[in-house]
Structure 1
Amino acid sequence: MNYLPIFLDLKDKNVLVVGAGKVAFNKIKLLLRSGAIINIISKNISSEIKILLDQKKVHWISEKFHFSYLNKIFLVIAATNDIQLNQKIFETCNNLCILVNVVDDQEKCSFIFPSIIDRSPVIVAISSGGTAPVLLRLLREKIESILPMRLGNVAKIAGNWRSIIKQKFTTLLERRRFWEKLFNSIFVQYVINGEIKKAVKFLKKMMNKPHLLTGEIILVGAGPGNSGLLTLRALQVLQEADVVLYDRLVSSEILEFIRRDAQCIYVGKSAGAKNISQDEIIKLLISLAKKGKKVVRLKGGDPFIFGRGGEELEAAKNEGIDVQVVPGITSAIGISAYTGIPLTHREYAQGVIFITGHKCQNGMSNNWSILSDSSYTLVVYMGTLQASYISQNLILHGRSKSTPIAVVGKGTTIQQKVVIGRLDELDKIVKFTINPSLLIIGKVVLLHKKLEWFNTSSEFNNTKNISSIVNLI
């Protein structure tokens, strides 16, 4: 983050603008909307600014800049064509710790003006840090189109009732739940339609309803890694959560979508490390939900595909806790698409089977005869630790040694690495992969080279290269 986005209270604060041309006028118009006291230094005054002077909306103090004019000034705008003067203003303000913006010279700015969407008191400000103004304009257009013009009135009414709601609901959690329900109700539409009396009547009705603070547990699939594959519903839930328990496979980009003041608890597991047990995770989920919190269990991929979501949901149901499930794109589906390896294809595979490389509990074991049927694509989650065991059993039960395989590390992300080889090379191939990884076994792997579209910096992404390396081992 190159800039910290903050909102300044400029009401009745002195701002100095050096320059009085068209560029300065555009800045002055914006500053006047914030209630700032505008002081101008310039020899030449544009006609637009002369009108503001006549209306006594701004103050002219001098023709020439002098550091003494910086006394009791909150921030400075330099909008002149004099490069040396702009440099002098910038250096002087920096030395005095005064915020300064030299227009169209980003290196001489201690702050920059963002692009603003004004629905006062709701203000949205966006910036590209000066790198992509056209992109910024397009983003602003999109945001402008989805924010109703009367959205500010919703915030104004909420502000008027804030102290009353604070008295009615004594805890922060109770108040937040009330506002969330209100803003997700017809109340907002009443305000946007200009039906203020109806809106206030509805607010009072909701306020006087008995509100039981009930917790809930929401299982959320974060997808295979790429933050762009997060579902819209998952994004909404992450913005509503009080607590988020997240796994090792959830990317940092996705964690950025979590509401800022939500509590985030890492409960990830990795092979060979000291991990929190599944029983401990379940106890924590239930304990937090019983305190009335909205608890999100955030998992890589999909909660119900080797994510132990069924166990967590079952435990919550046994305790009488409300639950929801937000599906995610499971790794097999996402990685298949991002590697150009279709899991089914009429000429290569009539079906697909998902298994995990971890051994099941309760004495359950894989039916290797079914898994060795070459007419099915086999996808193995968490299979690298058992690579030798998997390949040996598949070959023993009839899969050809030359069956094409793909081991994909960090699939769907910019670090995605695809290693192609044969089934009898699997235990050697995994040495060249990166975790987390997914194993795809079957003839459909042959389509990778033809259908791949997601460009990565994969070092070993074709059969010839990896076979050459394996032969050297």
Structure 2
Amino acid sequence: MRYLPLAFDLKRRPCLIVGGGSIATRKARLLNKAEARLLVVAPEITDELRQLVLGSGGEYIVGRYHADLLKQADMVVAATNDASINATVSADAQALRLPVNVVDSPKHCTFTFPSIVERGPVSIGISSGGSAPVLTRMLRAQLETLLSPGLGLVAELAGRLRGKVKAALPEAQRKDFWHWVFNGPIVGQVERGDAANAEQTLLEELSRWEDRPAPSGEVYLIGGGPGDPDLLTFRALRLMQQADVVLYDRLVSTEVLELVRRDAERIYVGKKRQFHSVPQDDINQLLVDLAKEGKKVLRLKGGDPFIFGRGGEEIDRLAEAGVPFQVVPGITAAVGCSAYSGIPLTHRDHAQSVRFITGHLKEGDLVLPWRELVTPNQTIVFYMGLTGLPTIAQELIANGMDPETPAALVEKGTTREQRVVAGTIGTLPELAKTHNVEAPALTIIGGVVTLRDKLGWYK
């Protein structure tokens, strides 16, 4: 992120615009909405721009730019059709450490104008740092359709009553109160044009809020999928934004973790091969303890919580302790990684069944029903099988599997770092060494692997 999104308070502050045409006028409209005092210099100025300047209490100069004008400004916009003048304005402004924007020239900018979605005091800025303005406008259009036109009125109501709420409730209760306001009947009343009754409803609820019983805690057990944040469910995203604290493991991607509420406490409880930073029993008890403190606890797991994720053990402990919980399924690694690799697990010409197997070595041994696994027209997927891959290959071949059976390793599946190493069950252990395959990696064995060159779409 090269440009940090910030919100400037420009009310009555002088902003210099160099340029008087249509582009300068568009920038002036935005600055005028922010109640800035406009200063404009240009050989020619549009009528609309002139009116915007006068309405802001500013002034315009019909003439050429000179550096002395910067002494009057807190912010500068260069919007002429002369690249050399724009570059000069940028250099002069930066020499004085003034924030400067040069239209359509990101290299000369110290700030950029985002595409803005506005609902009263609520504003959302979407920026690409000047690299893809058409994309930001498209995203703005999508957000415009999602946000209620009455959202600004709700924000204004909250702003008017914020002081009363702060005086009436301790900090620990205020968050829950505002959460109720923005998710309850208040919004509907305001959007129906009944702001007076909405305010009365809010004040009545405020007067009795402290008498409410303390909110009970809850645990959200959520599958974060194999890595790509686009694979999360809507429900998962909603609960991730409500959590007070998140316990997450090593298989949760950075991109998925970024979608958790920013002020939530984060506790890493990940496990690496042959190393557990927090024992499972301690994780189970920590979920109970945090929930009994009245917190909304997010247990975020890679893949699906119930596919080799030990989620069943966690909810068993929660149920035993009487802690309420919700479970949100996630796309398990086998489904996500195979799809992103162009390997359909049950293509009818190659497999009529699929088996998910844990390849995790316990005390150096991997005890599995090997003969049952050597079945025609079946796909086998091994989770956590990278360390035990030589044993897996040896046992399958010893129990009758053809060494030429197609097999593949999918490393860091569904992420930008995804890599597929394909061969046969006989060659795969050596290929893993040659290509330095690292965990997390999934092993897929069966005829469906031969389809990846034809069907693979994620490169």
Once the two structures are superposed, the pairs formed by residues 107-118 of structure 1 within 5 Å of their partners are: 107-118=107-118
Cα deviations by residue, 1:280-307 (Å, 9 ceiling, x for unpaired): 2223222222222111111110010000
Over 3 Å counting, the alpha-carbon distance change for 1:280 and 1:89 in structure 2 is: same
Deviation at 1:169, TM superposition (A): 2.8
Residue 214 of structure 2: aligned partner? 212
Separation of aligned partners in 2, 1:76 and 1:401: 70
Over 3 Å counting, the alpha-carbon distance change for 1:44 and 1:317 in structure 2 is: same
Once the two structures are superposed, the pairs formed by residues 35-50 of structure 1 within 5 Å of their partners are: 35-50=35-50
Residue 63 of structure 1: aligned partner? 63
Instruction: Return 324-333 or 55-64, whichever deviates more.
Output: 55-64
Deviation at 1:272, TM superposition (A): 4.0
Over 3 Å counting, the alpha-carbon distance change for 1:314 and 1:62 in structure 2 is: same
Residue 158 of structure 1: aligned partner? 158
Q: Give the alignment's Cα RMSD to 1 decimal.
A: 2.4
Residue 395 of structure 1: aligned partner? 397
CA contact (8 A) 2:38 2:53 kept: no
Task: Give 2:291's aligned amino acid.
Answer: A
Deviation at 1:420, TM superposition (A): 2.1
Deviation at 1:55, TM superposition (A): 5.5
Residue 199 of structure 2: aligned partner? 200
Separation of aligned partners in 2, 1:132 and 1:380: 42
Residue 179 of structure 1: aligned partner? 178
Task: Give 1:349's aligned amino acid.
Answer: A
Question: Which of residues 423, 431, 443 in structure 1 aligns to 2:447?
Answer: 443
Structure 2 portions without partners, runs of 5+: none
CA contact (8 A) 1:343 1:352 kept: yes
Q: Give the number of aligned pairs.
A: 453
CA contact (8 A) 2:270 2:276 kept: no
CA contact (8 A) 1:408 1:416 kept: yes
Over 3 Å counting, the alpha-carbon distance change for 1:360 and 1:68 in structure 2 is: same
Q: Secondary structure at the match of 1:355?
A: strand
Q: Which runs of 4+ in 1 moved over 6 A?
A: none
Q: Secondary structure at the match of 1:279?
A: helix
Separation of aligned partners in 2, 1:443 and 1:109: 55
1:138 and 2:130 aligned: no
CA contact (8 A) 1:101 1:111 kept: yes
CA contact (8 A) 1:78 1:100 kept: yes
Separation of aligned partners in 2, 1:23 and 1:364: 69
Separation of aligned partners in 2, 1:428 and 1:372: 21
Once the two structures are superposed, the pairs formed by residues 74-153 of structure 1 within 5 Å of their partners are: 74-153=74-153
Separation of aligned partners in 2, 1:451 and 1:105: 42
Deviation at 1:40, TM superposition (A): 2.6
The percent identity for this pair of structures is 45
The alignment's TM-score, normalised by the length of structure 2, stands at 0.91
Residue 341 of structure 2: aligned partner? 339
Cα deviations by residue, 1:193-226 (Å, 9 ceiling, x for unpaired): 2122443344345432514222111111111112
Deviation at 1:6, TM superposition (A): 0.5
Q: Secondary structure at the match of 1:276?
A: coil
Question: Which of residues 444, 454, 457 in structure 1 aligns to 2:458?
Answer: 454
Over 3 Å counting, the alpha-carbon distance change for 1:44 and 1:306 in structure 2 is: same
Separation of aligned partners in 1, 2:402 and 2:336: 27
Residue 377 of structure 1: aligned partner? 379
Task: Give 1:152's aligned amino acid.
Answer: G
Over 3 Å counting, the alpha-carbon distance change for 1:443 and 1:27 in structure 2 is: closer
Deviation at 1:62, TM superposition (A): 6.8
Separation of aligned partners in 1, 2:362 and 2:184: 46
Once the two structures are superposed, the pairs formed by residues 24-43 of structure 1 within 5 Å of their partners are: 24-43=24-43
Task: Give 1:372's aligned amino acid.
Answer: V
Over 3 Å counting, the alpha-carbon distance change for 1:339 and 1:103 in structure 2 is: closer
Over 3 Å counting, the alpha-carbon distance change for 1:396 and 1:126 in structure 2 is: same
Task: Give 1:89's aligned amino acid.
Answer: V
The alignment's TM-score, normalised by the length of structure 1, stands at 0.89
Separation of aligned partners in 1, 2:177 and 2:133: 39
Cα deviations by residue, 1:231-253 (Å, 9 ceiling, x for unpaired): 22111122111111111111111
Residue 187 of structure 2: aligned partner? 188
Deviation at 1:159, TM superposition (A): 1.6
CA contact (8 A) 1:374 1:399 kept: no
Structure 1 portions without partners, runs of 5+: 456-473
Separation of aligned partners in 2, 1:454 and 1:107: 33
CA contact (8 A) 2:36 2:56 kept: no
Deviation at 1:356, TM superposition (A): 0.3
Separation of aligned partners in 2, 1:53 and 1:400: 81
Q: Secondary structure at the match of 1:438?
A: strand
CA contact (8 A) 1:242 1:293 kept: yes
Task: Give 1:218's aligned amino acid.
Answer: Y
Question: Which of residues 283, 286, 297 in structure 2 aligns to 1:284?
Answer: 286
Deviation at 1:327, TM superposition (A): 0.7
Deviation at 1:26, TM superposition (A): 2.0
Question: Which of residues 246, 258, 261 in structure 2 aligns to 1:259?
Answer: 261
Q: Secondary structure at the match of 2:90?
A: helix
Residue 413 of structure 1: aligned partner? 415
Residue 221 of structure 1: aligned partner? 223
Over 3 Å counting, the alpha-carbon distance change for 1:372 and 1:181 in structure 2 is: farther
Q: Secondary structure at the match of 2:9?
A: coil
Task: Give 1:260's aligned amino acid.
Answer: R
Cα deviations by residue, 1:238-274 (Å, 9 ceiling, x for unpaired): 2111111111111111121111111122211111446
1:309 and 2:311 aligned: yes
Separation of aligned partners in 1, 2:247 and 2:2: 29
Task: Give 1:154's aligned amino acid.
Answer: V
Deviation at 1:446, TM superposition (A): 2.7
Over 3 Å counting, the alpha-carbon distance change for 1:59 and 1:325 in structure 2 is: same
